[in-house]
Every structure is written in structure tokens, then in C-alpha cells.
Amino acid sequence: MTEKSWDESLVADNLRRIEEKMEAACVKAGRKREEITLLAVTKTVPPALINAAIRGGVRQIGENRVQELLRKEPELELAGAAVHLIGHLQTNKVRQVAGHVHMVQSVDSLRLARTLNDAYAARGETLAVLVEVNVGREESKSGALEEELPALLEGLQALKHLRVRGLMCIPPISDEETGKRKYFSQIYKLFIDIKAKKLDNISMDVLSMGMSSDFEEAILEGSTMVRIGSALFGKRV
């Protein structure tokens, strides 16, 4: 067997293991498996392995960088999958990425939102976005702070070529289970509070939280989309 086909069968095995864990977390949480979407995080992963995941049933993939997405895109079997941008997006990259993604999960400023809105207006299209929240208030991370959300959401309501679908977060690294769950439940509460306001143009049906090390906790705390990289493709090189 070549090394390549071994890697590909590993992806299928990992996918099966992740599915089992997701199902178990759903049972524990009293939720239905269909309520949660698995997004495969593909940064640094070669197209052949990404295609193996798509053939294995993954329907959503997430890239962090515009350049890397555009480089790999011609080799991806995207008929079966939607692409999400999950990394920080600079306004000067917006024009390049427009038309290549199904959703941008990292909107954290009105300046970025307006630039995206203009790019999609020019195409006569609408883009689904998530607002990224810096739930741990970390200097090193992007994302809007909780107190910035009202003004940001108000501004987003006026941008008719964006459709706000929910929130995304990357909580601080923490060893204790309770540490992560505290952040997850905090953002779930925000999500529910915003949803209850029934704001125009803001639907709040996607809560993107949970990664390889903590997706089960995230499911227990109300996540509707888990973003999984290393548990699916192996350790990043």
C-alpha cells in the first residue's frame, strides 16, 4: 500500500471515530445528531486528503487563509462540499475571496463587514456570515468583544448583501473541562439572547464552536457546528 492511500483510509477511520463521539455527545445532551454540522478544518491539509474526507461524507470544509484556499481550490472536489473561511480576514483580501466561499465565519468589525457587503453587492450576490466573538477577551485573538456586539449587529442589519447566520468563537486554551464549558455556555447565552431579539437580517441559527479537543463539551453546551482539524486529518505539519 502506498503511503497516500494509507493516509486516506486513516481519514475514513478518524471520521468514523468522530461521528461516534458526536453521536454519544448528542445522546448525553439530549440532542439530535442532525442539529450539529461537522466542518472539516483543512488548513495545511493536502487536497487528496480533503477529497477523501468529502468522499467520506463531509459536506462543509473550512480554510483559514485566502491564499491557501485559492491555491488548493482547483484540486478540490467541491461539487459535494461548501467552503467556509474561518481565519482572520483582512479587508484587502476580500476582493480575492469573493465568490469562492459559502460562508465567512470571522466577521469581527463593521469595516470588514462593509467591505464584504460591497464586494457581494458588486456581484449581485449575498454572503452568509458569522460574527466571531473573542469570548476569552484575549489580546492575541481576533473577534469582537461582547460589549461591541450591539453596535456591530446594528450596523450589520443595514448590509443587505450579508446575511448574519450566527456566532463563532475560539475559547482560550484550558486544561480543565469546566474552563472551556464556562466559555461555551457564555457564548450560547449570547446566541440565545440575540436570537430572541429577532433582529432584521440576523437569523442566529449557527453557533460555531468546538474543535478537536473539545467538540463534545461544545455539543453539550449548544454548539450547532463543530470545526475539526487534527482529529480528522492527523497532527498538522
Using CB under 6 A, list all residues that contact ligand PLP: 41, 43, 64, 86-87, 170, 211-213, 227-231
- Residues 120 and 125: their CA atoms lie apart, in Å, by 5
198 vs 235, which CB is nearer to ligand PLP?
Answer: 235
* Best CA proximity match to 201, nearest among 149, 167, 165: 165
Give the shortest CB-190-to-ligand PLP separation in angstroms: 18
125 vs 177, which CB is nearer to ligand PLP?
Answer: 177
Number of other CB atoms surrounding residue 25 within 10 Å:
21
Give the shortest CB-123-to-ligand PLP separation in angstroms: 25
Give the shortest CB-124-to-ligand PLP separation in angstroms: 29
180 vs 227, which CB is nearer to ligand PLP?
Answer: 227
Instruction: Check: CB of residue 216 under 8 Å from CB of residue 24.
Output: yes
7 vs 118, which CB is nearer to ligand PLP?
Answer: 7
Give the shortest CB-176-to-ligand PLP separation in angstroms: 17
166 vs 229, which CB is nearer to ligand PLP?
Answer: 229
- Residues 218 and 105: their CA atoms lie apart, in Å, by 17
Instruction: Check: CB of residue 219 under 8 Å from CB of residue 22.
Output: yes
Give the shortest CB-98-to-ligand PLP separation in angstroms: 20
| Cα 37 → chain centroid | 10
Instruction: Check: CB of residue 129 under 8 Å from CB of residue 106.
Output: no
Give the shortest CB-227-to-ligand PLP separation in angstroms: 4
Query: Coil, strand, or helix at residue 194?
Result: helix
31 vs 43, which CB is nearer to ligand PLP?
Answer: 43
Angstrom distances, CA of residue 100 to CA of 71, 83, 94, 171, 200: 12, 8, 10, 27, 26
Give the residues across from 40 on adjacent strands.
61, 228
